[in-house]
Amino acid sequence: MGPRPGRVRRDHHLRRQPGGPHPHPPPRDLPRPRARPRGGRRHQRRPAGRLRRRPRGSAQPLAREHPPVTAPVTRPEPASALVATSADAAVRRGAFTLACGGLHHTGGTVAVIGPNGSGKTTLLRLLAGLERLTAGELLLEGRPVDRTGRGRRLFVPAHRRRLSVVFQDHRLFDHLRVVDDVAFPLRRQGWDRRRARDRAATLLAELGAAELARARPRELSGGQRQRVALARALAAEPRILLLDEPLAAVDDASRAAVRRVVARSTAALVVVVTHDPVDVATLADRLVVLDEGRVVRDGPLDEVRRDPGSRWAADFCGANVVSGEARGRRVRTADGVEIVLPDAATGRVHVVFGPETVTVHPRRPEGSARNVWPARVARVDDDGTRALLELEGPPSLRAAVTTDAVRALELRPGRQVWASVKATELTVVPADVSADVPADGSVDDPGHQGAVGVTGDDET
């Protein structure tokens, strides 16, 4: 039908709103509906003169072809870059400025980390089309979508970008049931109702939320709403998937399922804003580190861990990850290190713990049941208050200690020490995040568990 004055709402298949007597306001500059004559149809003027049946000659080509006004400008960046920004790209929001120049990502999973207020959500909103650049240029899939400059201004709105976003506040449709909410992007793409609902039900089952299909958003908990929002984002099969703290409100029993579904999504590029080192260790290929509105690091995970670029990033990226094969309550690594778990696990797992949880001793500790192994100090980075130690094993670890401890224990490269960590400080997650999820959505997630190297099987 198209927009016109006097049109009433009849989009029942999308919004569940019955048609009513109230017309839409006239869109843009269309005139308001005029009073129609009571006598029936309006009088139509006849064309001035008689129209010829055939033209008097063949059509002549135009003297010059003009390209469309919105034709994209070619750039030197390669077309394979799914996300790229010019060197001077920036976003200003009041007194805050995000300098986001030089980004270049061709695929995989990129984790965006940084302290509060560093600009992580602003960067995500910029990619989604909800913020506009104040300088520079942004390209998605090799084509400019946001560009500044006199005479070359360009902006592609959010609904015309091939991406999906999951925000922290979820933004579900309160008037729709969950299954119709997840099916909404498919209905927008022209899918019939039954097919869209079947696909939505499948996604909900993969995320362990099949029983929520008939519920309303107001009946859901925060973690349930998060899973529904993620299912809706995945339903559209976007080329770029943007996730803002995707596991912040999800319970431990569902995190493994969410990680698996995200890892095997069809999106060519996944951008995850997170504060969880476990998400970085299990999902990310690359890291973008933001600090005070600047991109201080952007590169492969191992490279950024070696040179984080800031103290905050050094603490965050210093998380220890020990991988191995789990059988029952024991995990064995490729180096022969044995990890004892308080609960049974199966398959490959990651044992994750922060450097601040590792305690360093001059000799093997006795008495308390701790997870203990010998190590050699390979490197000491001391900033005058705290020091980050690189310990060679196996397993190779990072430990954060005070400067006083460095002096008291005479910690220096080459020194032999003992490292220990309490079992309560360990987190165990499945290493194979791409494994299939049962149709009923059930998963085995050991949650917080584990013990590295051992003084006793039953003590934690």
- Is the pLDDT higher at 379 or at 200? 200
Mean pLDDT over 25-47 rounds to 53
257 and 364 housed in the same domain: no
191 and 236 housed in the same domain: yes
Q: What is the 3-state secondary structure (H, E, C) of 375-441?
A: EEEEEEEECCCEEEEEEECCCCEEEEEEHHHHHHCCCCCCCEEEEEECHHHCEEEECCCCCCCCCCC
- How many angstroms from the chain centroid is the CA of residue 168? 11
Q: pLDDT-derived band of residue 140, with 50, 70 and 90 as boundaries? A: very high
pTM for this predicted structure: 0.62
Q: Give the CATH number, domain containing residue 163.
A: 3.40.50.300
196 and 294 housed in the same domain: yes
* Residue where a domain terminates, one of 305, 333, 357: 305
Q: pLDDT-derived band of residue 64, with 50, 70 and 90 as boundaries? A: very low
249 and 374 housed in the same domain: no
> Does residue 347 sit within a domain?
yes
277 and 353 housed in the same domain: no
pLDDT of residue 51: 54
Is the model's pLDDT at 441 over the cut of 60? no
Mean pLDDT over 195-209 rounds to 91
Mean pLDDT over 199-207 rounds to 91
Is the model's pLDDT at 195 over the cut of 50? yes
> Does residue 152 sit within a domain?
yes
> Does residue 385 sit within a domain?
yes
Helices 193-206 and 252-263, interaxial angle, to 10°?
120
pLDDT tens, residue by residue, 259-307: 778 877 888 999 999 888 777 877 888 999 998 899 988 988 878 877 7
93 and 217 housed in the same domain: yes
Q: What is the rounded distance in angstroms from the CA atom of residue 92 to the CA atom of residue 213?
A: 41
* DSSP reduced 3-state for 312: helix
Highest mean pLDDT out of 55-64, 268-277, 334-343: 268-277
Mean pLDDT over 9-26 rounds to 53
pLDDT of residue 21: 55
Characterize 25-38 residue by residue with b for buried, 16 or more Cβ atoms within 10 angstroms of its Cβ, and e for exposed. eeeeeeeeeeeeee
Highest mean pLDDT out of 50-54, 182-186, 276-280, 283-287: 182-186
Helices (H) and strands (E) in the chain — how many of each?
10, 21
Encoding tokens for residue 329?
A: 């309550």
Is the model's pLDDT at 376 over the cut of 70? yes
Q: What is the rounded distance in angstroms from the CA atom of residue 427 to the CA atom of residue 306?
A: 23
DSSP letter, residue 217: G
> Does residue 313 sit within a domain?
no
Highest mean pLDDT out of 207-216, 424-433, 439-448: 207-216
Q: What is the rounded distance in angstroms from the CA atom of residue 27 to the CA atom of residue 61?
A: 36
Q: Distance of CA 224 to CAs 55, 127, 133, 207, 213, Å?
A: 66, 26, 34, 10, 11
Q: pLDDT-derived band of residue 445, with 50, 70 and 90 as boundaries? A: very low
Does 217 sit behind a cis peptide bond, omega within 30 degrees of 0 on the bond before it?
no
pLDDT of residue 94: 87
> Does residue 19 sit within a domain?
no
Closest CA to 304 of 317, 320, 322: 317
Q: What is the rounded distance in angstroms from the CA atom of residue 192 to the CA atom of residue 200?
A: 12
Place of tokens 């809706």: 232
Considering only the C-alpha atoms of the chain, give the largest distance between any 2 of them, rounded to a whole number of Å: 108
Q: Give the CATH number, domain containing residue 420.
A: 2.40.50.100
Q: What is the rounded distance in angstroms from the CA atom of residue 340 to the CA atom of residue 319?
A: 19
pLDDT of residue 394: 87
Query: How many separate domains does the chain show?
Result: 2
Q: What is the rounded distance in angstroms from the CA atom of residue 399 to the CA atom of residue 386?
A: 10
Closest CA to 207 of 168, 174, 246: 246
DSSP letter, residue 57: S
206 and 347 housed in the same domain: no
Is the model's pLDDT at 15 over the cut of 70? no
> Does residue 58 sit within a domain?
no
Contact 132, 145 (CB under 8 A): no
- How many angstroms from the chain centroid is the CA of residue 117? 18
Contact 210, 204 (CB under 8 A): yes
* DSSP reduced 3-state for 202: helix
Half-sphere exposure of 329 (CA within 13 A, CB side): 11
The DSSP secondary structure of 340-378, one letter per residue, reads EEEEEEEEEEEEEE-GGG-EEESS---SS--EEEEEEEE
> Does residue 355 sit within a domain?
yes
Instruction: Classify strands 108-113 and 397-402 as parallel, antiparallel or unpaired.
Output: unpaired
Mean pLDDT over 162-186 rounds to 90
Place of tokens 């310990």: 391
> Does residue 408 sit within a domain?
yes
pLDDT tens, residue by residue, 90-130: 999 889 999 999 999 988 999 999 988 899 999 999 999 99
pLDDT of residue 73: 36
- Is the pLDDT higher at 371 or at 374? 374
Which range (363-377, 409-423, 429-443) has the least confidence? 429-443
What sign results for the dihedral spanned by CA atoms 166, 167, 169, 173?
negative
Q: What is the rounded distance in angstroms from the CA atom of residue 118 to the CA atom of residue 132?
A: 17
What sign results for the dihedral spanned by CA atoms 75, 77, 78, 84?
negative
DSSP letter, residue 135: B
Range of the domain at 301: 83-305
293 and 155 housed in the same domain: yes
291 and 344 housed in the same domain: no
291 and 332 housed in the same domain: no
325 and 286 housed in the same domain: no
pLDDT of residue 306: 72
299 and 324 housed in the same domain: no
